Amino acid sequence: MKLQGWIVIFILIIVPIILVTSAYLQLQISYVNAQSNYDSILSNASYDAIKAFQINELNSNTQNIAEEKIRDVEASVNTFYNSLATNFGQAGYSQEELSGYIPALVYTLYDGYYIYTKYNNIADINASGNTVIDLNSNESADGLKPYVYYSARYREGDREAIINYTLDNYITVFYKSGSGSDDYETFSGYLENPNDISSDGKTYKGVNIVEERLSEANITSYAEGKNNNPDGSYDEMPYVYVNNSEGRREKAYWDGSRWFKYNVDGTSQVFDDTNIINELGTTYRKDNSAIQYLIEAKDFSEKVRSKLSWINYSDIVDVSPDDLGMSNEMQSKQLFDFSDEGMENFDEHRKQIIRNSITTNLEATIAKMNANSAQSAKMPTLSELEWDRILNNTCLIAFMQGQNLGYNEYMGYTIVTNNLNREFVDPKLIYILDTSAKVYHDFRHLDASLPSNVGENLIGYRNIDFEPESFNDATGSPGQYYPHRDATADYSCIISSASLITSDRFFCNRRSTDI
């Protein structure tokens, strides 16, 4: 055969292959680009949502009230969908259409979580004025499912205990002794090893705890500074923590002659609670909340030890020990063992309870959505690193699934942690203010470079205490101030994280680590 014939045969064979390969590569490029675009949109919407939650929660004095939590979460959800709708506007998606691609939004908070999803158990009022719930309704609506607490139930014989966990060591116990009574005794507090705390609360693991002179700028000191100081500077005002009649914690500020607080609307009010006035006195005193915390934690932990020492890990009900990853050896151990190993086991168990609860409810939510929607969804497998973020922070877990990417469907999720909130602060986000130098450090940066006498000048504050505070003055005009205006961040630890250390205790020998 002549050369021209071989060339024709080559072209007839190779060209179709090249065309098919080119089309496949173009489809793959389009798929990767579309997936990257959806990832970016989902991530941006989640960040917008958590930022809205932060703003509402940080500027609210009623963040512990359930109605306020619901308000803040629903506002965050609206921000999420508005961001999605804006970014998908050019693609022809409306907000209503997008909700069909969102299996769930999960807001993990301090002691539980909300799931925002579709549901069809619609409640209605019948002709007699009674509420009727149709569990098989063909209609569906988007909304928050009831708040789910991080809880577990334990039973041994007639004795029973329900324990509500949190992201830290605070627990609430509902205990029934089984002595013929159906009534539950309720008590709550912070769980610490009582053997580590002195009876007066002034020593913890051999470290002396002293009273602190807490201070910060507030609306009053900011306004007085702006009005009276030519340079517009403002001072800090001393304060202490008190528990009000509703059991909620408040700041009591000392203006030099009296104690006052701030109301929800930002107006100030002199304390009129007799019990609090008697507790505060008529002169300023240093804050001793750290000492009170240790005293109360010791009393609570000893009460837990006396009443709940019967609980073994195997006594858990409503969930299989295997689902929590318990070994046979672990199941035979006491839940409340106040040795170092026992406290570590308890902390790991707490995290497994939270993880199992979120996973179980998410799987049920997605299964329910699949049963009532033509749009399929599935539960992704989260990595251990992702679970570590969820179990140590309040956060938003957002799922988006089902968009057509060509020959496949988009299946994405994102996790955004909320590090600026009043509910819970990761211990790694507690900043230590050196009041003498007016510099604040990451607590893992306490080393020999600090002055030898700095101990009395070190005060721990939450990271949000260094964020700007917003308010409206008496005329309704907005204002903003920094609670610690003169304090500057230590660049080597707060900004660059270059000098962070780890140690078994503060001021111990340092070991370098990568953060």
d(CA 507, CA 487): 23
φ, ψ (nearest 5 deg) of residue 226: -65, -35
**Cβ within 8 Å of residue 451, ≥6 positions away:** 436
- Report the pLDDT value the prediction gives residue 448, as an integer from 0 to 100: 44
Q: What are the C-alpha distances in Å from 406 to residues 26, 28, 185, 430, 460?
A: 11, 9, 59, 47, 54
pLDDT of 505 reads 30
Among 107, 121, 97, 103, smallest CA distance to 77 is for 107
Q: Where are the domains of the chain?
A: 3-112+394-418, 425-515
Strands 488-489, 439-442: pairing kind: parallel
Q: 29 Cβ partners below 8 Å, 6+ apart?
A: none
Please tell me the predicted confidence (pLDDT) of residue 152. Answer: 96
User: What is d(CA 115, CA 205) in angstroms, rounded to the nearest whole number?
Assistant: 40
In terms of Cα–Cα distance, which of 189, 192, 201, 197 is closest to 290?
201
Mean per-residue pLDDT pooled into runs of 10, the chain (515 residues): 63 68 61 75 91 80 67 92 80 69 92 87 65 63 88 93 95 86 86 94 88 90 87 90 77 91 83 84 87 94 95 93 88 93 94 95 84 73 90 91 76 87 76 87 66 65 87 78 90 72 33 26
Report d(CA 182, CA 188) in Å as an integer: 19
Element at 362 (helix H, strand E)? helix 340-371
